[in-house]
Chain A
Amino acid sequence: MTTSLLELRGVNAFYGSAHILQGVDLSVQSGERVAVVGRNGVGKTTIVNTLLGIAAMRGGSVHMRGESLLKLAGHTAATHGIAVVPQGRMILPNLSIEENLKLGASLRRPGEWTLDRIYGLFPMLAERRRSPGTALSGGQQQMLAIGRALMANPDLLILDEPSEGLAPVIVDELEKLLRDLTETGVAILLIEQHLRLVLDLAERFYVLSKGHVSETGLMKDVDRETLQARIMQ
């Protein structure tokens, strides 16, 4: 078996004494498109928060390219080539649009993504580069959050509910963008409640329920109804 890009084994994670993730197993290969689905509050965001050191991991392990990430500090994931488009976008209002993008490139990982390429992809960001990031509409802020993550030239892009609040045409654009991205070898971990983007984009899925993976499989083996039913179980 080849080593996975990202691998979580039996991860247990806590907020204070609240035990949220109870033995999560999950892996992502290079260039793969993987989805995590599940109902409200089952712990999807907590997977991200564990990688970011916000939720405390006690028990289990996280490996990136076979290397064990023992102490998950806030910057650990970024250092290992993981970029995050967080739930709620988290654009910094005290930075301009351009500064938000530059923040994404803090580690100066080499790669094809530069300010110019992001501006080429999202021209409306270029037009308003000096405005505060929060002057944008919700959908535009989502583009900025994606641009910020791409500026890191990541090997793994984690998106937490990226289609939240986006118009259907924009979701289609997003799907194409993410698909093109994986052609270049970037892996995608897509966390979603809405199945549309998941069904169109993902190759593999994990269903999360109450802090553990209740089901996993290939996207081509399930249809919308089956997947929906398993989420609701």
Chain B
Amino acid sequence: MIINALNGLVYGSLLFILASGLVLVYGLRRVVNFAHGAFYMLGAYIGYSVAIHAGFIPGIIAAAAVLIAVGVALDLVVFRKLADRDPLVTVLVTFGVLLVLEDFVRTVWGTGNYAIDPPALLSGVVQIAGAPFPIYRLFIVFASALMAGGMVIWLRYSRSGLWVRAASHSPVVAAMCGVRTNVLGPLVVGLGAAFAGIAGIVAAPFLSLNPSMGAEILVMSFVVSVVGGLGSFGGAFISAMILGQIQAFGVVYLPEIAALLPFLLMALVLVVRPQGILGNKV
């Protein structure tokens, strides 16, 4: 029981990190970024390749660095160039980026599954309520909390965080006050992509690597964002935690319909409270 809840917490933490990137980018650019799942996958593969040669920490750094560059490029080439177009056009282009990156991964790494061991320092188990639990999974929760906490502190207490929040609500007012809103785009999309990439490599020892991992987690992150309320961090946090638990308990107690439960939740929320758990604000 406790172990199940802990597994739910681990999965929920990962979902929250991914969803927070989606929320951040949606808040500023008003675009649902389909490429986000591909960022997660790319982070996992790049991190994996670096980690098996140079160690786990360099793997995380490499994943973050590459994904920042990919995110910045996506903003400059796609989001900014298409800013005046119908948002649907931009969404379709991000979907195209997802497909291209998936093909790229298939070409470079093949279609097989990869698994990677946690770093030695974090391998092994602890006894929790009389049952063994991998230390590495606790690390995932810890790392996610650190990232989420860092992001919240940045948004709340730094000048650039204030600018991002201001521009997310009104680019016009932010710019009127002298904020170079064009610089915020690459910053936010780069950060969101880096978060996804780090989530990918951090999750790698827990989930396995394959070319469809991006699309799978993307769907779950969408469910989190929609249930939480597009653009709301608090809402994304609550719904990520709920979905983590649904996932963990679902596979144990309702294995036949476990895969459906997240969507049932989403349908329920959309019927009862269409704007999501915590409305529509960053």
Chain A residues in contact with chain B, CB under 8 A? 52-54, 73-75, 77-79, 84, 86, 90, 92-95, 99, 102-104, 106-107, 148, 152
Contacts and interface: CB of A to CB of B under 8 A. Distances in A.
Interface residues of B, number: 22
Contact of A148 (B162, B170, B177): B177
B282 interface: yes
A74 B167 CA distance: 12
Interface of B: 159, 162-163, 165-166, 168-182, 281-282
A75 B170 CA distance: 13
Contact of A77 (B170, B173, B176, B180): B176
Contacts of B282: 94
Given A94-B282, A99-B162, A106-B159, A75 B169 contact: no
A149 to B, nearest CB: 9
A90 B170 contact: yes
A78 B173 CA distance: 11
A74 B175 contact: yes
Contacts of A103: 162-163, 166, 173-174, 177, 179
A74 B169 contact: no
Contacts of B169: 92-95
A79 to B, nearest CB: 6
A152 B170 CA distance: 18
B176 A78 contact: yes
A157 to B, nearest CB: 12
A216 B88 CA distance: 47
Contacts of B176: 52, 74-75, 77-78, 84, 86, 90
A114 to B, nearest CB: 16
B170 A79 contact: no
A52 B179 CA distance: 12
A152 B177 contact: yes
A83 to B, nearest CB: 8
A104 to B, nearest CB: 5
B162 A104 contact: no
28 contacts: A53-B175, A73-B182, A74-B172, A74-B175, A74-B176, A75-B175, A75-B179, A75-B180, A77-B176, A84-B176, A86-B176, A90-B173, A92-B170, A92-B173, A94-B281, A94-B282, A95-B169, A99-B162, A103-B162, A103-B163, A103-B179, A104-B177, A106-B159, A106-B174, A106-B177, A107-B177, A152-B177, A152-B178
